[in-house]
Amino acid sequence: MYLCPNCRSRLNKVASDAGCFWHCPVCNGRAVTLPVLQKTAPQKMIQHFWLDARSGKDVGDRSCPACDRKMTVVPLTDAGSPLTLDVCLGCYFIWFDPNEFEHVPTSGRPSLNAHKELSPVSPETLARLKLKLPQEPKAAVSTVIEGPDHWWEVIPAVFGLPIEYDKQGIWQRPVITQILSAFMVLVFVLALPHLRSVIEQWGLVPGDPYRHHGLTFVSSFLLHGGLFHLLSNLYFFLVFGDNVEDDLGRGKYVLLLLASALLGDAFHLLADPRATIPLVGASGGISGVIVYYALRFPKTRLGLLIYFAWLRVPAGVLMVLWLMAQVFGAVNQISGIGHVSSLGHLGGALVGFLFWLHSRQYRSNIGESGPLETDLAA
């Protein structure tokens, strides 16, 4: 149940061409989520508005209808009349007082004119009807002649790394991803002259995990065993991390990385608690990022270069194949074969799945179960 920030009355869920919004029958205000507003208002205006909201410091007195935390007060400068709106950065809810929404410019897209108030069973009924509609089949994997958009993307493709064809737009600069990436490069450069001894000293050793007062859990994440190890991890981190950081927000993104890395380390320790070979690399934390990305944007096409032919594969399909490879690698790891910690990857992947599950439930509670649809790019 969502409550009006003004009069604390119960809000009614209303259907429209652009999506659902929540209307107060007492004061006539309405709460609209950012993805729905994107479908009706000009993209540039929404981009500027959301960037202002992200960087804004003015927290108002009104509480979010969904999570009840204080909303940020943001001016909508591109509107025909001066408007000051309340925004929840966690729920993507934007509150419009009576007659405010009518002053927002439209882009000729679907409108937010109410059709009818939805009963509790209406979404389920609509979902069942949707399943009955004939849909045009789409190929999960397609072969294309043209390569990626940028020439340099051919280089990672030659080494078997995926190319992000359908790039997801982001609203803010991925500061956490960029800072951590730069720090990993710096650590590698400083350790390079004595890389072997540094890894032996600061890698995570299952037989002695709490040496250096447990700091090896952190240092092992930043260290890498060689240049290709570093570059491949950085590639996945930079390609997928920006969207995950933007989608989760910086605080939850840091928690995702930390929890993925720690659970990945725990899974690795369980394989052989007496092992003396040090573990290094950020792949446990990055595995959580990869799985969250693939589940959050499952239809995003990723390109692979196979025998001089470009294949476009949905991220969800590629994730399933990757997980199958990790399970096979984990069996080999337990048997003492190989030097890649597939169990560490699976531990991080589990955290990514749990974060996506929580995010999915959270978005479904506010009526938005799909990813933000946007054409905006950083």
**Does 169 share its domain with 101?**
no
**Does 98 share its domain with 33?**
yes
pLDDT at position 109: 55
Examine residue 215 and state whether it is found in any structural domain, yes or no: yes
Looking at every residue in the chain, the average pLDDT score rounds to 80
Q: Token match 């990993």: residue?
A: 184
Residue 124 has pLDDT above 60, yes or no: no
Examine residue 218 and state whether it is found in any structural domain, yes or no: yes
**Does 302 share its domain with 200?**
yes
Domain boundary among 80, 101, 116: 116
pLDDT at position 168: 65
Residue 358 has pLDDT above 60, yes or no: yes
The better pLDDT of the pair 61, 251 is held by 251
**Does 176 share its domain with 252?**
yes
Angle CA 134–139–141, to nearest 5: 160
The range of the structural domain enclosing residue 21 comes to 12-116
**Does 84 share its domain with 159?**
no
Residue 147 to residue 311: CA distance in whole angstroms: 9
Q: Which of 370, 347, 352, 231 is nearest to 289 (CA)?
A: 352
Percent of the chain with pLDDT over 90: 32
Between 4-8, 168-172, 196-200, 216-220, the lowest mean confidence (pLDDT) is in: 168-172
The better pLDDT of the pair 212, 373 is held by 212
Examine residue 7 and state whether it is found in any structural domain, yes or no: no
pLDDT at position 94: 87
Examine residue 242 and state whether it is found in any structural domain, yes or no: yes
**Does 110 share its domain with 43?**
yes
pLDDT at position 107: 63
pLDDT at position 274: 82
Average pLDDT over residues 140-166: 71
Examine residue 135 and state whether it is found in any structural domain, yes or no: no
Residue 201 has pLDDT above 80, yes or no: yes
Residue 136 to residue 327: CA distance in whole angstroms: 34
Examine residue 4 and state whether it is found in any structural domain, yes or no: no
**Does 74 share its domain with 153?**
no
Q: Token match 């001016």: residue?
A: 75
For the domain that residue 146 is a member of, what is the CATH number? 1.20.1540.10
Choose the most confident range, by mean pLDDT, from 22-36, 250-264, 292-306: 250-264
Domain boundary among 98, 116, 134: 116
**Does 205 share its domain with 353?**
yes
pLDDT at position 57: 65
Condensed to tens digits (0 to 9), the pLDDT of residues 235-244 reads 999 999 999 9
Sorted by sequence, the CB contacts under 8 Å of residue 161 that are 6+ apart come out as 232, 235, 236
pLDDT at position 348: 94
Residue 134 has pLDDT above 70, yes or no: no
Between 104-113, 125-134, 320-329, the lowest mean confidence (pLDDT) is in: 125-134
Residues forming beta bridges with residue 88, ordered by sequence position: none
Between 33-37, 166-170, 288-292, the lowest mean confidence (pLDDT) is in: 166-170
Q: pTM above the 0.75 mark?
A: no
**Does 269 share its domain with 182?**
yes
Q: Give how far the C-alpha of residue 67 lies from the chain's centroid of Cα atoms, to the nearest Å.
A: 20
pLDDT at position 301: 83
Between 134-148, 283-297, 324-338, 353-367, the lowest mean confidence (pLDDT) is in: 134-148
Q: Which of 353, 281, 351 is nearest to 320 (CA)?
A: 353
pLDDT at position 340: 85
Q: How confident is the model at residue 306 (pLDDT cuts 50, 70, 90)?
A: confident
pLDDT at position 96: 86
Q: How confident is the model at residue 179 (pLDDT cuts 50, 70, 90)?
A: very high
**Does 206 share its domain with 280?**
yes
pLDDT at position 112: 58
**Does 280 share its domain with 187?**
yes
Examine residue 302 and state whether it is found in any structural domain, yes or no: yes
The tally of domains found in the chain comes to 2
**Does 111 share its domain with 151?**
no
Q: Give how far the C-alpha of residue 295 lies from the chain's centroid of Cα atoms, to the nearest Å.
A: 9
Examine residue 187 and state whether it is found in any structural domain, yes or no: yes
